[in-house]
Amino acid sequence: MTIISNRLQDILATIQSAQQKSPFQQQVKLLAVSKAQPSTAIREAFVAGQTRFGENYLQEALSKQADLTDLGIEWHFIGPIQSNKTQQIAQHFAWVHSVDRLKIAQRLNDARTDISTPLQVCLQVNISSEDSKSGVAPDALLELASAVNQLPHLKLRGLMAIPAPTQDLSQQIMQFKRVKNCFDTLINKGFTLDTLSIGMSEDYISAINQGATIVRIGSALFGARSNKQELLS
Ligand SMILES: *Cc1c(COP(=O)(O)O)cnc(C)c1O
């Protein structure tokens, strides 16, 4: 067993036990966040059984994808999206978690016309308004979701959020509850959603307890990233 495969087994066991204790009894999937990790680490995790990988930076992702074409990886884009990157993102990823405005959604849709499966998308919600610029405000979410739902080459699957980092457990839970409320509100309005993408290495157990269906885990699986500051910007 390699270090990565050991960590993978531990994380999967932790996810399993958290989902059994969750009041929602939901199925939870692991997205391995491989930003700043070399292709060899991704290959190692894949061989150990992990098939979904998340990347934040397009150029970095494209170069690793080129190394790994022999594997059946399901690639998820989870980083901020500039409009000049939408063409390649729509062509090279199965999922995008970070759609937060209609213009980007329309461009992704238009770039997906020649692929038969729609691009699976989550809308990124800004639940910690102070410091984050990314994400749609909760009060603008319904309008964006309605518009995205009309785009034929996108399939709206749910919501994603990145809570502001906090050591305060009740603050953390509060932020997850806020996204879950947005998610439930959309479902009550008739949207068919099955994905709540919340929870990272430090807080995924708590996220699962609040209803997460995808947890995005990087450092707990691959180890610390070297240039962490730059990569989180
Ligand atoms: C880097 C990143 C993660 C993973 O963070 P870890 O703390 O290393 O698990 C998850 N989601 C997004 C959007 C990220 O940028």
Name the residue range of residue 152's domain. Answer: 3-224
* Residue 229, in any domain of the structure: no
Q: Do the domain assignments include residue 232? A: no
CB 76 within 8 A of CB 31: yes
Ligand 1 probe mutation, 78, 214, 225, most atoms within 8 A of CB: 78
In a domain, 214, yes or no: yes
Each residue's pLDDT tens digit, 126-163:
998 666 678 999 999 999 999 999 999 999 999 999 99
In a domain, 173, yes or no: yes
Distance from the CA of 226 to the center of ligand 1, in angstroms?
Answer: 14
- Chain centroid to CA 24: how far? 20
Residue 78 beta carbon below 6 angstroms from any ligand 1 atom: yes
pLDDT at 165: 86
- Give a yes or no: residue 82 inside a domain: yes
In a domain, 123, yes or no: yes
Residue-wise pLDDT tens digits, 12-60: 999 999 999 999 999 999 999 999 999 999 999 999 999 999 999 999 9
Residue type, 14: T
* Residue 168, domain member (yes or no): yes
Evaluate whether 37 touches 222 at the Cβ level (below 8 Å). yes
Does 34 contact ligand 1 (Cβ within 6 A)? no
Number of compact structural domains in the chain: 1
Give residue 216 CA to ligand 1 midpoint distance, Å. 6
In a domain, 231, yes or no: no
Nearest to 89 by CA among 122, 52, 119: 119
